[in-house]
Amino acid sequence: MTIELRLTEVDPPTEEPHRTIYHDIVNLPDPVIQSLTIRYFNHDDVGLYFKITGSGIGYTFTPVNLGLLATGTDTYANLDNFASRAKPTVAQLPNGQMGENITLTLTAYTDSGYTNLKWTFERVVQVIWINSTDAAFTLDFSNNFDDGTVQGWACAMETGYGSTTVAVTTGYVLSPPYSLRMVKVNAQSYMYERDRIYKSFTTPNKDSVYAIADIRVSCDAATGTSGARVIYVRNGSAILIQLGVQLNYAIDDIPRDRWIRVVVPLPKNTTLELQIAYEWFSYQASRYSYLWLDDFKIISK
């Protein structure tokens, strides 16, 4: 293949691992907005101009011109508000779950006007919709922090310098009165910082286990002097989902000041450390970054 689209960090020629997009319909807006982080490759002998779009029953996609990619290279792109779809109704999710497919289409052109098409690559992606309040699911863990405690969550600094703390707050919440907030104060300028919150869980011995987390990130400095770069959700060191890229410094690669819902499958009958990490950049010292978590739960059936 001369161009390629992937949804993971795994390098070719290793086969792309299976990836599925998960949504929990509970308290989601209608229509549902889909954002996506992709990785794309130019295996051709010349530089090419790339475009990404998609198709699927009931979906509306916004094509994105990705620009020039040099020969023999690859890069990531975060597609914010890439697609939308009417939220499925409870009746459309028998037994609390429904599956469907969308097709992502990557095209490559020899000109900046995107008129001379040279290559096309398609990847079919499964989308699973769940209703976490359906009677088919068991609520195994629920952390809404409304008892005024961190409910077992801790924080750690992974890169950079400064201090990291975690506590409950009333500033931004989804279920009043509290949410969890991690605060990082950086001690040096021109540094990217990555910090995480984490907690250990033992998952039930059931075939389907999901973690559902509502996350919000921010920085106290404006875009141009800081950038919200990446959110990772991990099982220990294994990345379950990555939102955003590490290409830019003082540009937001992921949306700040917006609640983002993440749904990830977990292995059954396993003790694991679930980690949510946030990476950001600042040109200045003594700046703050924030990560909020609310209405976290693990469900199974």
138-300 — its CATH code? 2.60.120.260
**Using an 8 Å Cβ cutoff, are 113 and 132 in contact?**
no
In this prediction, residues 67-81 reach a mean pLDDT of: 94
Residue 206 has pLDDT above 80, yes or no: yes
pTM value is 0.92
Which residue ranges make up each domain of the chain? 3-130, 138-300
- More confident position, 150 or 255: 150
CATH class of the 3-130 domain in this structure: mainly beta
Calculate the average pLDDT of the chain.
94
pLDDT on residue 244? 87
pLDDT tens profile 1-26: 699 999 988 899 999 888 899 999 99
219: buried, middle or exposed (CB in 10 Å: 19+, 13-18, 0-12)? buried
pLDDT tens profile 225-264: 888 889 999 999 899 998 888 777 778 888 999 999 999 9
pLDDT tens profile 272-290: 999 999 999 888 888 899 9
pLDDT tens profile 192-202: 889 999 999 99
